[in-house]
Amino acid sequence: MKGWMGRFRALFLLSSLALVLSGCGKPYLSALQPKGEGADMIYDLMMLSVIIMAFVFLVVMIIYTIVIVRFRQKKGQEDFVPKQVEGNHLLETVWTVIPIILLLILAVPTVQYTFALADTTPETEDGEPVEDALWIDVTGNQYWWHFDYRDLEIQTSQDLYIPTDRRVYIKLSSNDVIHSFWVPSISGKMDTNPGKNENEMFIHAYEEGVFWGHCAEFCGPSHSLMDFRVVAVSPGEFDEWVADMQAVDPEAVPENPVAAEGKDLFQENSCLACHAIGSSPAAVGPNVTSFGDRSKIAGILPYDKEHLVSWILDPEQHKPGNLMTGKYPMPSKEDAEKIAEYLMSLQPSDIGPDDAEDGEYIQPKPKEETEAEGDEAEEDTNEE
Amino acid sequence: MSTATVGKRSFGAVVWDYLTTVDHKKIAILYLVAGGFFFLLGGLEAMLIRLQLMAPDSELIGAQFYNELFTMHGTTMIFLAAMPLLFALMNAIMPLQIGARDVAFPFINALGFWLFLFGGLLLNCSWFLGGAPDAGWTAYAPLSVISPGHGVDFYALGLQISGFGTLMGGINFIVTIITMRAPGMTYMRMPLFTWSTFVASILILFAFPALTVGLFLLTFDRLFGANFFVPDMGGNEIIWEHLFWIFGHPEVYILILPAFGVFSEVFSTFSKKRLFGYSSMVFATVLIAFLGFMVWAHHMFTVGMGPIANSIFAIATMAIAVPTGIKIFNWLLTMWGGSIRMTTAMLYAVSFIPTFTLGGITGVMLASAAADYQYHDSYFVVAHFHYVIVGGVVFGILGGLTYWWPLMFGKMLNEKLGKWTFWLFFTGFHLTFFIQHFLGLMGMPRRYWKFLEGQGLETGNLISTVGAFLMAIATFILLYNVIITTVKGKKSPADPWDGRTLEWSLPNPTPFYNFKQLPLVRGLDPLWVEKTQGNGKMIPAEPLDDIHMPNNSFLPFTISLGLFIAAFGFMYRVDAGFPAYVAIGVGLAITLGSMLIRSVKDDLGYHIHKEDLEKEGAGE
C-alpha cells in the first residue's frame, strides 16, 4: 500500500527537518509522530510537499534577498532612471513550467493516497475479501462519542478499543449536528454527518497505546471538550476484551454494599433511561458498561471519584451546553457518591487503558481454539 | 460641494453632505471609516479570543460567548472590514486611474455603501439583543439551523442586506471600467489595480448570488419553518456547505486580487520601473479568478465526497499555484534592476512576498487532499488563511492606504510612525500565526474554546497571544498616525511618490469633478509616459466644456434604513407578534416608497459651466 514513496522515507528521516518536526507535540496526539497506517501515509505526503515547497521558498528567497540588497536606491542617485523592462519570455516560461512539474510530482501521490485512504473494502494482501473484518459504527453526539461493534453485540462510549494487528473499519454518522472524528496520531479526520450522508474510513494503529481523539468540526459550546480515546491493545488482549464485554450481565449486583446501593439509585434517578449498561440499542447518553475502565470522565476530567461526583451534580460546569443537564432528578451529594461508587465498579474486563501502555504484546489465539474455549480465554493473560 | 470649493462649513452640513453624497471619493471615505470601525471591532474580538487561549483550561470567557466572538470575528473581518476597506480603495482610486469623472452609477454606488453599513450594523445589534451568531462564520447546518435565540437570524439577514450592497458595488465597477475609460485607455493599458478591481467585481457578480441563495434558504429554515438543511425532514445539510463555499472560495480571490493590484502599483512606483511581464500579470489575474470557481470543494475534503471528487478538486486547487507563482516572480523581477525606495507602503509590499509565499506554500500543502485529512479544521488551516488574508489582504490595504492617502486626504501619513506600525505589525503577525501551523499538526483543532493541559500546546498558544498584542499596539500607532496627520499634517504635493499612473496627474485636492478635461492616454503608465516623453502633464483629449454631474440624494440611505427596520420585524415576528408586523410594514414601506420616488421623480443632475471651470485656476 505504501507504494514508491515509502522508499524515500530514509531520506526524509536524514533531513534535520523531519527530526525537528518529530519532536513536536505529544506522541499520543501529534500528527507529526504517526503511530498508525493513515497518519503514516499522510506524514510521508506531508514531508514530500514540505520538501518541494521548501525548495520553492528557497528560490524565491534567494532572488528576493539579491533584489533587496542590490537594487536599493543609493544616496546621490535619486535621479537615476532604471531601464523600463517589459518582460522576458524565456524567464516567464521557466517559472510557469517548473512549478507545473513540481505540482505534478505532488499530485501523483496525492491522488494515489486519496484513493488508498478511501478504500474501505476489507481485503487481505492477496486481494481476497475478509469475512470477519471488524466494523465499528461510530456516532457523534453533542458532546460524546458512541461506538457500536457491529456483529459483536458490544457497545461502548468515549473509549474505543481496537486491536493493533489489522485495519478496523468504521462507519461514521451523527445524531445531531456535524462532528468530525480525528485521532491525529493514527489517521486523518472524517466528518460525521447527520442523516443519509454516512462516511466510511479505516483506522489501523501500528502500536499499542492510548491515543487522543478530538472532535474537529465545530458543533456547539462544548466542541472543544468532545474528546475521546482510542485504546489500541494487542490482538490477544483485544480478543479477551471482546469476550469479557460480551459476557456482561447488566443486572449483576456489585459485592460492595455501597456500590449496590448506588445501583439502585442509578435506576431510581432514571439514569438508566439514557445510560445503558450492556449491549442495549438505547444510546441517548453514553453507554456506561465499562465505566470502571474509562480513561477519563466525560472525555476530559481526571478519572477519580471526586470528579465523577462533581460531574453528576453539575455537568453544566464541566461541559456547557451538554444534553444531560436538567434531565434527571438531582441526587444529594451522598447519593451521587454512591452512584459514583457503582459506576466505578463497572469493570467487566481486566483489559483497560493500562494494558495498552504496559508494552506487553499478546498474540491472538488460533481461531478454532478461541471459538471452542469461549469465556475461559481470560486466564492466560492475567497470570503472565 | 467638495472641499475644494467650500471652506469651513457647519458640522451638520458636513454630515448631511456625507449622508447624501454620490461622489465616489466621498463614498470611499465612508467605506474607509465604516470598514475601519469594523476592523477595530473584529480586532477587539480577536484579542479576546487570544486572551482566552493564552493559558490552558482557561475560564476567562464562557463557551457560548467565545463561540459568538470567533463567529463575529470571522464574519466581521471578511464582510465588514476587509471588503469595505478594499471597496474604499477601489472607489477612491479606480475611476481616477481610468480617467473617469465618477463611477457609472453614482446613486447605486451610494446605495451599495448604505446597504453594507446597515447590514453590518444589523449584524452587530445582535450583541445587545440576546447574543451574537454562534455557528461560526461558515454557519454550517444543521448547527446554524438549531442554534437557539436570534443570533444566526442576525447573521442571515445582516449578511443578506450587506450582500446586496456588495453585489451592486461589483456591478457598478464592471460597468464603469467597461464604459468609462478615458480616450486611449485600452484594456491592456489599464493599471493592475484597475484590472484586479475589474476581475474581483466579476467574481462578486458570479459568487455572491450563491451566498444570497444559501442565506435565503437558511432564513426560511430558521424563520418560516422550512427544512432545506434539516436531515430528519428530508433536507440535506451538505447543500449548505456547497452553496457557502461556491461563494466562499471566490470570496478569497475577491479579497486577494485587489491586494495583488495594490502591490503591483506599489512595486512599480517605488522601483521606478514598469511592471515586469504586464500581460502575463493580467493573464494570471484572470486565470486565478477563473480557476477560483472550480476549487470550492477543497474546503470539504473530509465531508465524504469520495476519492474521485477529492482528487479532481485537489488538482484544480494545485493548478492555482501556477498563476500565483507567475505573479510572485514578476514582482521580484519588477524590483530587479530598479531603484528601490523603502517607503512604508513599499515595506508592506516587500514583506508581503515572503509572507504570501508561505501562505501559498501551505495552500498547496492543503490542496493535497489526503494530507488535508490531517490539516483540515486544525490550527494549520487557521495559520494558512491568516497568512493569506492578513499577510496578503491586510498588508495590501495598509500599504495601499499609505500609498494613496495623499490622494484621498491631501496629506501624507507620517512615515516614521508608519514604519513603527509596519515593524510591530509584521513581527506580531508572524509571532501570532507561524506557530499555529505547528499547533495544528500537534493536534489542536480550530474553534476550540479551551485546550486542555497535557497536550503540549501551552507554549505555542502563549507565543501566539504575545504576537497578537504586538499587532494591537501597531494598530493603535496607526490610529494615532491618522489622527495626528489629520489634525496637524501639512498639505502634500500633488504627486508625492513620483507616480506613474493617471491618478497622480490630478491636482491636490482632487476636484470634485476629477478631470477638468478627460486626458489622452498614450501608453501603459500614462503619467510616466508624459514625464519621459512629454512635459510631465497629461494632454487633454477634449476641449474644455460643461461637465454633467449627478445630484446628491438621501434615498440610498432611506432604502437601506427601511430594510434594516423590516429585518427586525421578520426576526421577531414569532415572539413579538403585532409590533413586528408593524416593523415589517413600515420598513418595507420606507424602502419601496423610496424606490418609487427614485423611479418616478426625474433627477437629471446639473452642469458645471465652462466659464466656472475656466475661472477656477485654469492653469493646469
Q: Hey, are the CB atoms on B443 and A26 less than 8 Å from each other?
A: yes
pLDDT tens sequence across B97-130: 999 999 999 999 999 999 999 999 999 999 999 8
Q: Cα–Cα distance between B298 and B203 in angstroms, integer?
A: 18
The answer to whether the CB of A367 falls within 8 A of the CB of A340 is no
Nearest 5 degrees, angle CA B426-CA B427-CA B431? 120
* Nearest-angstrom CA–CA distance, B161 and B392: 27
Q: Give the class (CATH, top level) of A135-366.
A: mainly beta
Contact A49 B237 (CB under 8 A): no
Mark whether B139 and B182 lie in a shared domain: yes
DSSP characters over B382-445: HHHHHHHIIIIIIHHHHHHHHHHHHHHHSBPPPHHHHHHHHHHHHHHHHHHHHHHHHHHHTT-B
Residue with cell 451538554: A322
Q: Which residue of B has its CA nearest to A187?
A: B374
When CB atoms are compared, the residue of A24, A95, A217 closest to B377 is A217
Amino acid at B277: G
Eight-class DSSP state of B446: S
Maximum C-alpha span of chain B: 79
Q: How many CB pairs under 8 A join A and B?
A: 298
Residue A53, C-beta contacts closer than 8 angstroms, at least 6 positions apart: B361, B364, B365
Percentage of the residues of chain A whose pLDDT score is greater than 70:
89
Q: Which of A48, A218, A325 to mutate to test the interface with B (most CBs of B within 10 A)?
A: A218
Is residue B204 in some structural domain?
Answer: yes
A22: closest chain B residue by CA: B442
A11-20, B386-395, B522-531: range with lowest mean pLDDT = A11-20
Task: Let me know whether B26 and B144 are in one domain.
Answer: yes
> B366: which residues sit within 8 A by CB, 6+ positions away?
B298, B317, B372, B375, B376, B380, B381, B384
In the 3-class helix/strand/coil scheme, how is chain A assigned residue by residue? CCHHHHHHHHHHHHCHHHHHHHCCCCCCCCCCCCCEHHHHHHHHHHHHHHHHHHHHHHHHHHHHHHHHHHCECCCCCCCCCCCCCCCCHHHHHHHHHHHHHHHHHHHHHHHHHHHHHCCCCCECCCCCECCCCCEEEEEEECCEEEEEECCCCEEEECEEEEECCCCEEEEEEECCCCEEEEECCCEEEEEECECCCCEEEEECECCCEEEEEEECCCCCCCHHHCCEEEEEECHHHHHHHHHHHHCCCCCCCCCCHHHHHHHHHHHHCCHHHCCCCCCCCCCCCCCCCCHHHCCCECCCECCCHHHHHHHHHCHHHHCCCCCCCCCCCCCCHHHHHHHHHHHHCCCCCCCCHHHHHCCCCCCCCCHHHHHHHHHHHHHHHHHC
Q: Give yes or no for residue B273 having a pLDDT over 60.
A: yes
Q: Which range among A152-156, A330-334, A335-339, B346-350 has the greatest average pLDDT?
A: B346-350
Give yes or no: residues B481 and B510 share one domain.
Answer: yes
B492-512 pLDDT, tens per residue?
A: 999 999 999 999 999 989 999
Contact A82 B62 (CB under 8 A): no
For A219, nearest residue in chain B (alpha carbons): B143
Q: Which residue has the cell 503619467?
A: B527
Give contacts of A25 with chain B, Cβ < 8 Å.
438, 441-443, 455-457
Of B278, B302, B354, the CB nearest to A191: B302
**Cβ-Cβ contacts under 8 Å for A289 (sequence gap 6 or more):** A155, A156, A245, A248, A250, A276, A277, A278, A279, A346, A348
Rounded to 5 degrees, φ, ψ at B299 are -80, -5
Query: Could you give the CA distance from residue B141 to residue B139 in angstroms, rounded to a whole number?
Result: 6
Element of type H or E holding B547: strand B547-549
Cβ-Cβ contacts under 8 Å, A92 against chain B:
277, 280, 326, 329-330
Contact A162/A206 with Cβ under 8 angstroms? no
- C-alpha span between B506 and B266 (Å, rounded): 18
DSSP for residue B538: P
| pLDDT per residue as tens digits for the range B24-33 | 999 999 999 9
User: Are A95 and B329 in contact (CB < 8 Å)?
Assistant: yes
Q: Give me the residue from B134, B339, B532 closest to A80, CB to CB.
A: B339
**C-alpha grid cell, residue B245:** 463555499
C-alpha B595: how far from chain center: 27
Residue-wise DSSP of B459-480: HHHHHHHHHHHHHHHHHHHHHH
Domain boundaries, chain A: 4-74+85-117, 135-366
Bridge partners of A146? A139, A157
Reported confidence tier of residue B162, pLDDT bands at 50, 70, 90: very high
Interface probe with A: pick from B276, B324, B342, B374, most Cβ of A within 10 Å? B374
Half-sphere exposure of A293 (CA within 13 A, CB side): 25
**Considering only A18-27, A236-245, B324-333, which range has the smallest mean pLDDT?**
A18-27
Determine whether A59 is exposed, middle or buried from the number of CB atoms within 10 Å of its CB (0-12, 13-18, 19+): middle
Task: Provide the 8-state DSSP code for B455.
Answer: S
Side chain identity, residue A149: Y
**Is B1 a domain residue?**
no
> Would you state the pLDDT for residue A361?
87
Collect all residues of chain A within an 8 Å Cβ-Cβ radius of residue B231.
193-197
Beta bridge partners of A203: A168
* Cell 489622452 sits on residue: B520
Check if the beta carbon of residue B133 is closer than 8 Å to that of residue B126.
yes
The cell numbers describing B128, all together, are: 445587545
Give B-chain residues touching A197 at CB under 8 angstroms.
Answer: 231, 236-238, 303-304
Do A190 and B338 lie within an 8 Å CB cutoff? no
Residue A372 pLDDT class (50, 70, 90 cuts): very low
Q: Please name the member of B135, B231, B452 whose beta carbon is closest to the beta carbon of A194.
A: B231
Q: For A341-359, how does the pLDDT look when each residue is reduced to its tens digit (9 = 90+)?
A: 999 999 999 898 988 888 8
- How close B170 comes to chain A (CA, Å)? 31
- Close Cβ partners of B148 (under 8 Å, ≥ 6 residues apart): none
Residue B115 in contact with residue B560, Cβ under 8 Å?
A: yes
Give residue B618's pLDDT band: very low, low, confident or very high (50, 70, 90).
very low
Count Cβ atoms below 10 Å from residue B505 Cβ, excluding itself: 21
B238 domain residue, yes or no: yes
Residue B100 located in a structural domain = yes
Torsional sign, CA B307, B308, B311, B313: negative
Global pTM value: 0.93
Q: What is the pLDDT of residue B253?
A: 96
ipTM score of complex: 0.92
Residue B336 lies inside a defined structural domain of this protein: yes
B520: helix, strand or coil: strand
Compute the distance between CA of residue A263 and CA of residue A251 in angstroms, rounded to an integer. 9
Pairing of strands A159-163, A168-174: unpaired
Buried-exposed string B213-247: b where 16+ CB fall within 10 A, e elsewhere: ebbebbbebbbeebbbbbbeeebbbbebbbbbbbb
Specify whether B494 is located in the same domain as B471: yes
Three-state DSSP at B377 gives coil
Question: Do B585 and B531 have their domain in common?
Answer: no
Query: CB burial class (10 A; 0-12, 13-18, 19+) of residue B186?
Result: exposed
Owning domain of residue B592: 555-602
Per the structure block, which three cell numbers stand in for A30?
501529534
For residue A21, pLDDT over 90 is answered with no
The pLDDT assigned to B105 comes to: 95
Give residue A356's pLDDT: 87
Give me the sign of the Cα torsion angle B178, B182, B186, B188: negative
- Predicted local distance difference test score (pLDDT) of residue A154: 93
* A382 pLDDT above the threshold of 90: no
Question: Structurally, how many domains does chain B consist of?
Answer: 2
Which of B58, B302, B357 to mutate against chain A (most A CBs within 10 Å)? B302
B462 & B597 share domain: no
Set of cell numbers at residue B182: 478615458
Structural contact between residues A262 and A341, judged by C-beta atoms closer than 8 angstroms: yes
Mean pLDDT, rounded, for A29-35: 92
For residue A9, pLDDT over 60 is answered with no
Q: Considering the domain boundaries, does residue B174 fall inside one?
A: yes
Q: What type of residue is B9?
A: R
Cis peptide leading into residue A143 (ω within 30°): yes
- Give the span between the Cα atoms of B444 and B378, in whole angstroms: 6
Mutate to test the interface with A, among B188, B287, B368, B459 (most CBs of A within 10 A): B368
Collect all residues of chain B within an 8 Å Cβ-Cβ radius of residue A82: 271-273, 337-339
Which tens digits make up the pLDDT trace of A70-100? 999 888 888 888 999 888 999 999 999 999 9
Q: With CA atoms as reference, report the closest residue to B523 among A88, A82, A84, A81.
A: A84
Contact B448 A57 (CB under 8 A): no
Tens digit of each residue's pLDDT (9 = 90 or more) over A265-300: 998 888 888 898 988 877 789 999 999 999 999 999
Mean pLDDT of chain B: 94
Q: List pLDDT tens digits, range B410-432.
A: 999 999 999 999 999 999 999 99
Q: How confident is the model over A110-115, as a mean pLDDT?
A: 96
* Residues of chain A found within 8 Å of residue B309, distances taken between Cβ atoms: none
Query: Is the pLDDT at B486 greater than 90, yes or no?
Result: yes
Which residue in A3, A223, A219 sits closest to B370, CA to CA? A3
Query: pLDDT digits over B386-409, tens only?
Result: 999 999 999 999 999 999 999 999
Higher pLDDT, A365 or B513: B513
Contacts of A31 in chain B (CB under 8 A): 374, 441-443
How many other C-beta atoms can be found within 10 angstroms of the C-beta atom of residue A23? 10
State the cell numbers at B249.
472560495
Q: What is the pLDDT of residue B454?
A: 86
pLDDT band at A125 (very low <50, low <70, confident <90, very high): confident
Same domain? For B132 and B200 the reply is yes
pLDDT in the model for residue A2: 46
Q: Are residues B441 and B564 in the same domain?
A: no
> Looking at the domain A4-74+85-117, which fold is it?
Helix Hairpins (1.10.287)
Q: Taking CB atoms and an 8 Å limit, are B353 and A60 in contact across chains?
A: yes
Q: When comparing pLDDT for A3 and B48, which is higher?
A: B48
Co-location of B381 and B391 in the same domain: yes
Beta bridge partners of A201: A170
Judge: A110–B451 Cβ closer than 8 Å, yes or no. Answer: no
Residue A124: the pLDDT is: 75
pLDDT tens profile B541-596 = 999 999 999 999 999 999 999 999 999 999 999 888 899 999 999 999 999 999 99
- CA quadruple A123, A126, A131, A136: dihedral positive or negative? negative
Please give the pLDDT value at position A279.
Answer: 83
